[in-house]
Amino acid sequence: MTDDPDRPLALITGASRGIGAAVARTLADDHDLLLGGRDPQALVALAGELPSATPWPVDLTDDAAVAQAVRGLDRLDVLVHCAGVGLLGTVAETPAATWRHQFEVNVVAVAELTRLLLPALRAARGRVVLLNSGAGHAARAGWASYAASKFALRAFADALRAEEGGNGVRVTSVHPGRTDTDMQREVVRQESGEYRPERYLRVESVAAAVALAVRASADAEVVEVVVRPATA
């Protein structure tokens, strides 16, 4: 963390790897950063590369730990929700525990962290960016619980935008297509497909879409960004 009081502060969940780590690298030039995730070693390693960053390790499904972790955060310019899980399965084969866990991480934890940080976001007239998915617009066979969680996340973002716009809080949903991360590797494994990284978005390309929303001028709110892998 720098000691420049004029530098904006951004909290990025899911920053220990994948899209969240790329968002951290992209915003590090002009933001102080809090790096969210559960893996403290990965967070310390990334913070070592980025002098403006501080690890913020917390399991987002642990309400008490989250309440403790936000204590003292009175002003927050940017909140980027990158943490998420991607659990596939047909309706016939998806048990209640999978539905609960997917909604717990992808929706409930996002709502609770946002709620706790709203006073700090209002104080800064801050921006909230939510990593959604192509699955937040269209549900395919085998994707019911993941897509339902992302539809719910889009609804959450739309309601938050309507409620908090008057308080100066700007809200963006970013909908990437398949992106080359651990999550995508696991998704392709569950689909019994072949992992072809050259067919997927690079994490830096998704981070650029997040940065577009974060760095928009004060008169502008980027409502939704859809990013898909370009076809050859």
Does 205 bind ligand NAP (CB under 6 A)? Our answer is: no
Number of chain positions touching ligand NAP (CB under 6 A): 28
Selected range binding ligand NAP among 4-12, 181-189, 190-198, 215-223, rule: CB under 6 A: 181-189
What 8-state DSSP symbol labels residue 106?
I
CA-CA distances (angstroms) from residue 1 to 57, 72, 126? 15, 15, 19
Does 18 bind ligand NAP (CB under 6 A)? Our answer is: yes
Helix (H) or strand (E) holding 19: helix 18-27
Q: Which long-range contacts link 134-143 to residues 24+ away (Cβ below 8 Å)?
A: 134/175, 134/176, 134/177, 134/178, 134/226, 134/228, 136/173, 136/175, 137/175, 137/226, 141/90, 142/88, 142/89, 142/90, 142/191, 143/88
Residue placing its CB nearer to ligand NAP in the complex, 83 or 129: 83
Selected range binding ligand NAP among 67-75, 115-123, 159-167, 173-181, rule: CB under 6 A: 173-181
Does 101 bind ligand NAP (CB under 6 A)? Our answer is: no
Q: Which of 11, 24, 47, 82 binds ligand NAP (CB under 6 A)?
A: 82
Q: Are 117 and 70 in contact (CB under 8 A)?
A: yes
Encoded one letter per residue, x for contact with ligand NAP by CB under 6 A and - for no contact, window 21-50 reads ----------------xxx-----------
Does 84 bind ligand NAP (CB under 6 A)? Our answer is: yes
Q: Active site includes 195?
A: no
User: For residue 167, how many C-alpha atoms fall within 13 Å in the half-sphere facing its CB?
Assistant: 17
SS3 226: strand
Residue placing its CB nearer to ligand NAP in the complex, 9 or 227: 227
Q: Which has the closest alpha carbon to 76: 113, 21, 22, 39?
A: 113
Q: Which of 176, 207, 210, 213 binds ligand NAP (CB under 6 A)?
A: 176
Residue placing its CB nearer to ligand NAP in the complex, 5 or 22: 22
Binding residues among 48-67 for ligand NAP as defined by CB under 6 A: 59-61
Does 83 bind ligand NAP (CB under 6 A)? Our answer is: yes
Helix (H) or strand (E) holding 175: strand 170-176
Smallest gap from residue 3 Cβ to ligand NAP (A): 27
